[in-house]
């Protein structure tokens, strides 16, 4: 059967059968559709499972992703793909964690596994071998800056090399350090939003790090006329773990703690 493009395909065999394939835009439908003349309906399935609607089976068993078509056109079940037990969520942050070593040399690393865990607490998952972890255990402090679209190369770089092997990677990234007035850790001049933290604890077995949020520091260049943070000026990045891409936070689509109220008033 020839290749077809688009999300819909028309197939003619023993009568008209119309199938909607929610999969890639280019696929060979002969891998997905089988017409069993002994069955009253057509089964659409993936290659690892062949099963007729009357219960007959052939081939290797697998997860049921059948779509049945009756007498021409009938909308089938929505098909989903299983990715298994993996750390795949949207959105994931792009945190740039900065510390000083024993000699006062600034260091930075890129981390996605973390977030707010209490009103004044941030938690991160960092393995013990990181130079950043060694530094903050000694200095008892660190900062967490939000990666920005204008500095995507530098932010990615500090996640590619280790301070254990490249002690000057902070400078190589083009970053400039300003000592925090609140904790013993550097702020990064090039990144406009940062959370300044004191170490609460670190569990080397679970790799969970907890920090007390002492201050949130924001560069005035990303404030609007009312003194509020303008997300468009910050252009913070999020990590897409499905495709290993960086995405920029986009347009406003709603108002938090407000838009859902319209459903509360419905009877």
In a domain, 263, yes or no: no
In a domain, 186, yes or no: yes
Same domain, 109 and 187: yes
- Which residues does the chain have with pLDDT short of 50? 1-74
In a domain, 75, yes or no: no
List of residues 6+ apart from 170 with CB closer than 8 A: 98, 105, 106, 107, 108, 158, 163, 177
Output the pLDDT for position 78: 79
pLDDT digits (tens, 9 = 90+) for 85-139: 999 998 999 999 999 999 999 999 999 999 999 999 999 999 999 999 999 999 9
Same domain, 118 and 236: yes
Same domain, 184 and 243: yes
Sequential DSSP letters for 247-267: EE-------TTTTTHHHHT--
Of 246, 256, 214, nearest to 95 (Cα)?
246
In a domain, 206, yes or no: yes
Q: Which domain holds residue 33?
A: 7-69
Instruction: Say how far apart CA 75 and CA 68 lie, in whole Å.
Output: 8
Output the pLDDT for position 75: 56
Same domain, 30 and 61: yes
Same domain, 101 and 64: no
In a domain, 57, yes or no: yes
- CATH no. for residue 125? 2.30.110.10
Same domain, 62 and 127: no
Same domain, 103 and 56: no
* φ/ψ (deg, to 5) at 133: -65, -45
In a domain, 116, yes or no: yes
Instruction: Say how far apart CA 182 and CA 194 lie, in whole Å.
Output: 12
Domain edge (last residue) among 69, 104, 123: 69
Same domain, 139 and 235: yes
Q: Are 90 and 240 in contact (CB under 8 A)?
A: yes
Domain edge (last residue) among 20, 37, 69: 69
Same domain, 135 and 233: yes
Instruction: Say how far apart CA 187 and CA 221 lie, in whole Å.
Output: 15
Peptide linkage before 91 cis (omega within 30 of 0):
yes
Q: How far is CA 2 from each of CA 13, 27, 123, 169, rounded to the nearest angstrom? A: 14, 9, 52, 53
In a domain, 81, yes or no: no
Domain edge (last residue) among 69, 101, 122: 69
Output the pLDDT for position 266: 77
In a domain, 262, yes or no: no
Quick one: CA dihedral 249, 254, 257, 260, positive or negative? negative
- For residue 223, the 8-state DSSP code is B
- For residue 189, the 8-state DSSP code is T
Same domain, 122 and 172: yes
Number of structural domains, the chain? 2
Same domain, 61 and 136: no
Output the pLDDT for position 52: 43
Output the pLDDT for position 151: 97
Same domain, 120 and 190: yes
């Amino acid at each position: 059967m020839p290749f077809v493009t688009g999300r819909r395909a028309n197939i003619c065999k023993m009568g008209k059968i119309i199938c909607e394939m929610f999969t890639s835009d280019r696929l060979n439908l002969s891998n997905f559709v089988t017409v069993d003349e002994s069955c009253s309906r057509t089964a659409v399935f993936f290659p690892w499972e062949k099963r007729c609607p009357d219960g007959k089976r052939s081939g290797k068993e697998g997860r049921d992703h059948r779509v049945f078509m009756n007498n021409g056109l009938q909308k089938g079940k929505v098909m989903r793909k299983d990715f298994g037990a993996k750390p795949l969520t949207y959105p994931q942050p792009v945190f740039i964690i900065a510390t000083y070593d024993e000699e006062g040399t600034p260091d930075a690393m890129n981390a996605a596994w973390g977030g707010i865990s209490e009103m004044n607490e941030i938690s991160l998952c960092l393995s013990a071998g990181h130079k950043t972890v060694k530094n903050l255990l000694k200095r008892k402090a660190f900062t967490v800056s939000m990666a920005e679209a204008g500095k995507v190369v530098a932010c990615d770089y500090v996640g590619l090399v280790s301070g254990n092997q490249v002690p000057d990677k902070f400078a190589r990234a083009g970053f400039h350090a300003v000592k925090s007035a609140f904790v013993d850790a550097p702020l990064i001049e090039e990144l406009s939003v940062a959370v300044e933290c004191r170490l609460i604890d670190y569990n080397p077995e679970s790799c969970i790090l907890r920090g007390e949020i002492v201050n949130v520091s924001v560069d005035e260049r990303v404030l609007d006329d009312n003194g509020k943070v303008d997300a468009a000026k910050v252009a913070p990045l999020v990590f897409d773990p499905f495709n290993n891409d960086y995405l920029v936070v986009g347009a406003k689509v709603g108002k938090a703690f407000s838009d859902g109220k319209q459903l509360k008033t419905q009877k």
